[in-house]
Amino acid sequence: MNSRRDFIKNLGLATAGIVLLPPLEGFAAKKKWFDISLAEWSLHRTLHKGDLKNIDFPEFTAKNFGIYGVEYVNSFFKDKAKDMTYLKDLNNRAKDNGVKNVLIMVDGEGDLGHADAQKRAQAVENHYKWVDAASFLGCTSIRVNAAGSGTREEVAKRAVESLSTLSSYSKKAKINVIVENHGGISSHGDWLADVLKSVGNKYCGSLPDFGNFYEYDRYQGVSDLMPYAKGVSAKAHDFDESGNEVNIDYAKMMRIVKDAGYKGFVGIEYEGGTLSEIEGIKATKTLLERFQ
């Protein structure tokens, strides 16, 4: 009886030109499968000139780009890893702007694949303070490099040893140690994937960078590393008039990332010289948003 009465009522409203809309919850925005973060290196020229300071990076990122995830580079606050006053201030500035501290990229702390055992051990120890800093800042990861000299097998053995020790330390703080394809043998996706498989620690993974494969096929490289990915670095240099990156097929690359079941942050790392750093970051963001 009620359904018949409702039908007649609705029919009358429709006849009067009043359209009944379905419940709004049926039109809820689709959740994006990845979030966008900004790698601080995208602004390295601005930072090196002194026009931007690391402490202001979270606010600058939120206000200029509408990006709410940041990836620090340790070289821009090299002497602050144990400075709790500084780290507390940085943390508060991020929180005040609704920004998530995602990771710290660590460079210049020694080669984890060094041939000298003592120097290798020192390199591992040098990374501990950045694990602690990342933990304090609420990051999920530190990014490291698997650098060293020697044969593929020699460097792999040493890197596995160092990464195993470092990730055992980071496990206590629940911080991931993630390795980027960052030149040398590490830019061979199959080699790095084998290293991570040998480490076999869930707190040790990869940070596939779209642009750092050089003589190795970039799409194969990302495919090799995605099973271990705990972050993704979207490298960009130049764009065509349609907003596509001219050297990287982003549609193909993001399909590889999505098909791997990845969900998390994809970090913009603009390194081009044609556009300004600010315009290059905006162009990369616009491109990435097509695939969300």
**Single-letter residue type at 56:** D
CATH code of the domain containing 151 = 3.20.20.150
First-residue to last-residue Cα distance in the chain: 47
Residue 209 DSSP label: B
Residue 11 forms part of a structural domain: no
pLDDT of residue 9: 44
Distances (CA, A) of 6 to 20, 169, 200: 12, 66, 62
Residue 125 forms part of a structural domain: yes
Give the separation between CA 160 and CA 81, rounded to whole angstroms.
25
Give the residue among 230, 257, 232, 209 at the shortest CA–CA distance from 140. 230
CB atoms within 10 A of CB 211: 17
Residue 1 forms part of a structural domain: no
**91, two tokens:** 């943390």
Residue 19 forms part of a structural domain: no
Phi, psi of 85 (to 5 degrees): -65, -45
Q: Is the dihedral of CA 215, 262, 176, 44 positive or negative?
A: positive
CB atoms within 10 A of CB 147: 19
Residue 225 forms part of a structural domain: yes
Out of 9-23, 79-93, 111-125, which region has the weakest mean confidence (pLDDT)? 9-23
Give the residue among 136, 127, 52, 45 at the shortest CA–CA distance from 89. 136
- CA count, 13 A, side-chain hemisphere, 7: 4
Give the separation between CA 218 and CA 287, rounded to whole angstroms.
18
> pLDDT tens digits for 65-110?
999 999 999 999 999 999 999 999 999 999 999 999 999 999 999 9
pLDDT class for 30, splitting at 50, 70, 90?
confident
Task: Please give the residue range of the domain that contains residue 97.
Answer: 36-290
Number of structural domains in the chain: 1
pLDDT of residue 221: 98
pLDDT of residue 267: 98
Residue 130 forms part of a structural domain: yes
Residue 10 forms part of a structural domain: no
pLDDT class for 176, splitting at 50, 70, 90?
very high
Give the separation between CA 103 and CA 138, rounded to whole angstroms.
9
Give the separation between CA 101 and CA 87, rounded to whole angstroms.
11
Q: CA-CA-CA-CA torsion for 166, 169, 170, 173, nearest 10 degrees? A: -170
Chain-centroid distance of CA 2 in Å reads 56
Distances (CA, A) of 285 to 71, 99, 174, 290: 15, 16, 29, 9
pLDDT of residue 29: 60
Answer for the pair 207, 180: CB distance below 8 angstroms, yes or no: yes
Residue 276 forms part of a structural domain: yes
18 CB-contact burial (10 Å; exposed 0-12 / middle 13-18 / buried 19+): exposed
